Amino acid sequence: MELHYRQEVTVGVLVMVALAVLFGGITWLSGKSFGAGGEVNVPVLFHDVSGLAIGNPVTVSGVKVGRVTDVRLLGEDSVMVTLQVGKDWRPHTDATVVVRALDFFGGMGIDYAPGVAKDYLPDGAVVPGKRDSGIVGAAGGLAGQASAALKSASALLSEQTAEDVHNTMLAAQRALDVIAKVGSGKAAAQAESTMTALTSLSIHLDSVVANPNLKIAVNKLGDVSTHMDTMVVNLSAATKSLTAIMQKMDSNKGTLGRMVNDTTLYVEMTKLSKSLRLLLDDIRERPARYFNLKVF
């Protein structure tokens, strides 16, 4: 082979290798696999998968074992989702699948439990899926409980309760006036009458405090406080995770960090695109340099 053609073949081979590496890198970054690799597909039927998309992770006890490969709407209340997992995670007859929110930013994932039953599900068998209300559902329930507690408190703060408190204050004021005028029989009688009225009002106030609605309101307020503490803890954990990811990206760690901070990939891709364009232009103008057809 002449040196001229050897150089052209070498350039062609390098271009093909570069294209293969580029395709492999794009495939790897998108989370797709290069082959079957002993993986199995698990069809799951959901009623609602709001936010779920192809490529979302499938985890077992928090560890990723696969991904979502297909999401198809079958009807108004029926969505078929296909999960791709390793053959070691083939579903048993008691397998369960739950779609849940991963964070407050709309990320979704699949909690997959292959089951422990003796028999496996036949190939193509559909597993019923469920949706976990998660953080959004907990926030809705918390709002409902808070509303119920406010209604109970509003019922307690009625006009009758306010009037009872006002009467108690007036009785206390009269009692102080009587004590200041103690000395005459008439003042003592007035003091006794005032104390009787004060005792009656105190008994009525005790009955108001012992009202079951007040106890229910206090209990509901306690539940609301507990749920608020849980939500604060979850928010703190989500913030720490996001901070850790941003720190890794800023410190040039991992694939995303290198892509963000290192312009080498951009420069190399630009050079490769320019070389491909020159090669294609040369092939179009001088095809005989690359394709030599001989008839014997």
The pLDDT assigned to 164 comes to: 74
Paired tokens of 128: 């019923």
User: Over its length of 296 residues, how does the chain's per-residue pLDDT go in tens digits?
Assistant: 455 566 677 777 788 888 888 776 676 555 555 454 578 999 999 998 888 889 899 999 989 999 999 999 998 889 999 999 988 899 999 999 999 887 766 678 999 999 999 999 998 899 999 987 654 454 445 556 656 655 665 655 566 666 776 777 777 777 666 666 655 556 556 667 777 777 777 776 666 556 666 667 667 777 777 878 888 888 888 888 788 777 776 776 666 666 666 677 677 788 888 888 888 888 788 777 776 656 55
Strands 78-86 and 63-75, sheet pairing: antiparallel
Those residues whose C-beta lies under 8 Å from the C-beta of residue 223, and which sit 6 or more positions away, are 145
Give me the residue spans of the domains in the chain.
Answer: 3-30+263-289, 39-132, 133-262
Q: What is the pLDDT of residue 210?
A: 65
According to the model, what pLDDT value does residue 60 have? 92
Burial grade of 237 (CB within 10 A; 0-12, 13-18, 19 or more): exposed
In this prediction, residue 214 carries a pLDDT of 62
Residue closest to 112 by CA, chosen among 140, 81, 138, 155: 81
